[in-house]
């Protein structure tokens, strides 16, 4: 029997002074998965995270975390959650050590709290005795990450966790997320940086105006938006590529000043296309299958290039088209 999801939000609605922050949002996250919430500012990503811990309560709908209602069993839920907010939320007048010790005491970890280990994981142990007020942005983010994992949470909620970090530190964070998921932890991450989500996310939720536009595994979402393979073809004289538009097997053709992007029935037709162009004297310089990026997916869905299909909400791992 499949385990119930760790995170379940069902038709959650929340407004602030008439502004709709979450509009019937439904989303689930299974144990040991990485869910990435993607969307513009004001999409409702941070509000969704706050709903999960019970820091905010829904006006309508249902929230279940570890099978519990955070509005009723908030302490139990929050004890198992580690949160890194968009702003580090650290006490500037205290040292890095005291910030971590404060968290350790609130989570009742006692004197054996692994403060040094958590700090070492993010390379912040040398600065623990210094006041946080003197930390750089990157150091604050790393300290906040150390604080979030101090109590070994089952669910990690990260809001823009690589903000302000150098590439090495960003990579360390993404590696941590991977490791935690492999250990059976569940991770929900909000990010603008779609590149980070690629290769990391088991589930991507594209949000806009408090709603989930689509949710699912990145590969499945890509296949849903672009069901047919796409190929990039470039030539010395690009205007000759326009002939592709009328060739058999080509479903769509685009060329916006650069190389041509064709959607084909199957990759099997590509050799025929190449042969046809070559026979016409076209000097080809590039032919490669194109794997759409998450960024392209995001803009395609947001711009409505592929209108959403109306279906019932699906579990994680299945496609959840927009309503």
Partner 1 sequence: MTNVKRRRPGSGNRTWVVARTDLRQLYQSPDFWVPMVILAGFFFVISPAILLFAITRAEGNDLVQKVGGTLSVLPGSARVAIDARAPHASDAVKASYALAVYLFAPLAIIVPMTISTAVGANCLVGEREKGTGEFLAHCPASTREIYTGKLIASLIPGYLTTLVGFGIYSLVVNLIVGPHVGGWFFPTAQWWVLMLWVVPPFLAITLSVVLRLSARLKSAAAAQQATGLVTLPIILLSYAQSTGALFGAGGGGFITGAVAWVLAALGLWRGARAVKRSRLLGVEGDLA
50 binds partner 1 (CB under 8 A): yes
Nearest to 216, CA basis, from 308, 128, 81, 303 = 308
Least distance from partner 1 to the Cβ atom of residue 33, Å? 21
Torsion angles phi and psi, residue 53, rounded to 5: -85, -10
b/e for 20-34, b at 16 or more Cβ within 10 A?
ebbbbbbbbbbbbbb
Q: Is 110 in the site for partner 1 (CB under 8 A)?
A: yes
Region binding partner 1 by CB under 8 A among candidate stretches 81-89, 210-218, 223-231, 245-253: 81-89
Give ∠ CA 155-317-60 in degrees, rounded to 5: 65
Alpha-carbon span 126 to 189, nearest angstrom: 27
* 109 binding partner 1? (CB under 8 A): yes
* Residue 54 in contact with partner 1, rule: CB under 8 A: yes
Q: Taking the CB of residue 157, how many other CB atoms lie within 10 A of it?
A: 25
CA proximity to 53, closest of 64, 42, 43, 45: 64
Binding piece for partner 1, criterion CB under 8 A, among 131-139, 180-188, 189-197, 206-214: 131-139
Choose which of 10, 13, 31, 79 interacts with partner 1 (CB under 8 A): 79
As beta bridge partners, residue 320 has 215
Instruction: Name which position in 4, 15, 67, 309 contacts partner 1 (CB under 8 A).
Output: 15
Q: How far is CA 276 from the centre of its chain?
A: 42
Binder of partner 1 out of 29, 113, 124, 194 (CB under 8 A): 113
C-beta of 139: minimal distance to partner 1 in Å?
11
Residue nearer to partner 1 on the CB measure, 5 or 88: 88
Rounded CA gap, 302 and 317, in Å? 21
Binding site for partner 1 (CB under 8 A): 15-17, 19, 50, 53-57, 74-75, 78-79, 81, 83, 85, 87-95, 97-98, 101-111, 113, 115, 128-131, 133-134, 157
């Amino acid at each position: 029997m499949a385990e119930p999801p760790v995170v379940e939000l069902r038709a959650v609605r929340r407004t602030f002074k008439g502004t709709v922050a979450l509009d019937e949002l439904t989303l689930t996250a299974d144990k040991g998965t990485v869910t990435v919430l993607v969307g513009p500012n004001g999409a409702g990503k941070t509000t969704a995270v706050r709903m999960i811990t019970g820091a905010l309560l829904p006006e309508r709908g249902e929230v279940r975390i570890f099978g519990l209602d955070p509005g009723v069993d908030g302490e139990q839920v929050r004890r198992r959650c580690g949160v890194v907010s968009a702003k580090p939320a650290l006490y500037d007048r205290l040292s890095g050590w005291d910030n971590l010790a404060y968290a350790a005491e609130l989570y009742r970890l006692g004197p054996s709290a692994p403060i040094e280990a958590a700090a070492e994981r993010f390379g912040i142990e040398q600065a623990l005795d210094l006041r946080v007020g003197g930390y750089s942005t990157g150091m604050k983010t790393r300290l906040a990450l150390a604080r979030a994992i101090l109590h070994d949470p089952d669910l990690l909620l990260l809001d823009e966790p690589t903000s302000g970090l150098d590439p090495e530190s960003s990579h360390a964070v993404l590696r941590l997320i991977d490791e935690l998921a492999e250990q059976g932890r569940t991770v929900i991450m909000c990010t603008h940086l779609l590149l980070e989500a690629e290769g990391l996310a088991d589930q991507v939720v594209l949000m806009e105006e408090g709603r989930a536009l689509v949710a699912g595994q990145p590969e499945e979402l890509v296949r849903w938006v672009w069901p047919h393979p796409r190929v990039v073809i470039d030539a010395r004289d690009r205007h000759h590529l326009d002939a592709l538009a009328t060739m058999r097997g080509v479903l769509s053709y685009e060329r916006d000043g650069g190389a041509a992007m064709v959607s084909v029935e199957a990759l099997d037709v590509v050799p025929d296309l190449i042969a046809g162009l070559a026979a016409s004297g076209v000097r080809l310089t590039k032919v490669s299958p194109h794997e759409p990026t998450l960024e392209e997916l995001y803009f395609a869905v947001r711009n409505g290039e592929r209108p959403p299909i109306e279906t019932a909400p699906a579990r994680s791992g299945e496609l959840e088209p927009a309503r």
